[in-house]
Amino acid sequence: MQGSATAHLAFPRTAGGISTSSSKLPNETNMGESTIDWSALGFSYLKTDYRYLSHWKDGQWDAGSLTEDNILHISEGSTALHYGQQCFEGLKAYRCKDGSINLFRPDQNALRMQRSCARLLMPQVPTEQFIEACRQVVKANERFVPPYGSGGALYMRPFVIGVGENIGVRTAPEFIFSVFCIPVGAYFKGGMTPHDFVISGYDRAAPNGTGAAKVGGNYAASLLPGADAKRDGFADCIYLDPASHSKIEEVGSANFFAITQDDEFVTPRSPSVLPGITRLSLMELARDRLGLKVSEGDVHIDQLDRFKEAGACGTAAVITPIGGIQYGDKLHVFHSREDVGPVTQRLYRELTGIQCGDVEAPAGWVVKV
């Protein structure tokens, strides 16, 4: 590849399709023992062996392939740097008891990334290329997949950024699609234990803005509110709707759900709520496996007494039970503050069982690497 957006990137190519092998791939039968302490994994960056790179130029994505280089070399005029023209995804690969590896619902991540790309005038990555890129990255970094039963997973971060020589407020002339991975443990310290959260006075996204797209600007705006919450002893903050500030929308970087007194699964629905894949999966499991009524709608902050359980859910966090919500001077405590509620526990066991291959998955939910 040539041009300022891709200078210094050197990696093998294949003609006519996505590369599925490379002379530089590790020998899968003799990769040596990992020195990672799997029990101590958190959610931090760790350089793994390979990542996937593909470039869009002149109206199309190239074949894409793997590289050991974890440094991107891009033009100083790249729109990703100046105008936030970028989006990303997060998904996980899980080691099963038989040693195989499951990718969890990568097609849903591909579809969501396509929607995010469309919102920011970026070329969409085809679903087939997205999934194949993820499979290549997992296979090439298999030694970093935490063992079955460790509670860890291989987290993948696909992203698309606008690059190339540009200075005006317009869509980029070139783009990069990449996928890298890291082994991770629990997102919140303590894992599957109840945490307290606080209602933020900030807005996560504007009405009719980019809240439903997984774009970096939404997360940049969350840094200060999140830091304030942690400084005050909370796990994270909760955002209310930006129009009326009367309804719960999201929990930091995760979706919100709650269980009513009569075991109804409730989650917010709003144009500024990110449609999470974990949230979607829990809704489907609650309805189809647990037989619960599932509702998407308004979750008013002054009606928390309706709920006996609440939680944050997302790829990184999976499920984090909410013990209490601080709103103004009052801490609303749920019935299950000291222990994980029974419905939340059942949903967690069902979801993680599917991800690790211990529970039969609904059709299309799992892709074997």
Residue 118: how many CB atoms within 10 A of its CB? 13
Cα separation, 124 vs 223, whole angstroms? 28
Cα separation, 322 vs 320, whole angstroms? 6
Residue keyed to tokens 């709650």: 258
Q: Tell me the residue type at 93.
A: A
> Chain-centre distance of CA 259, in angstroms?
23
Residue 127: how many CB atoms within 10 A of its CB? 16
Three-state DSSP state, 33? coil
Q: Please answer whether residues 191 and 340 qualify as being in contact, where contact means their C-beta atoms are separated by less than 8 angstroms.
A: no
Q: Please answer whether residues 348 and 356 qualify as being in contact, where contact means their C-beta atoms are separated by less than 8 angstroms.
A: no
DSSP per residue over 46-110, as a string?
A: ---S-EEEEEEETTEE---EEES-------TT-HHHHT--EEE--EEEEE-TTS-EEEE-HHHHH
Catalytic (active site) residue 214 = yes
Closest CA to 337 of 326, 325, 323: 323
Point out the catalytic residue in the list 57, 92, 139, 214: 214
- Which residues are 60's β-sheet partners? 57
Could you give phi then psi for residue 161, rounded to 5 degrees?
Answer: -130, 145
| Positions marked catalytic | 214
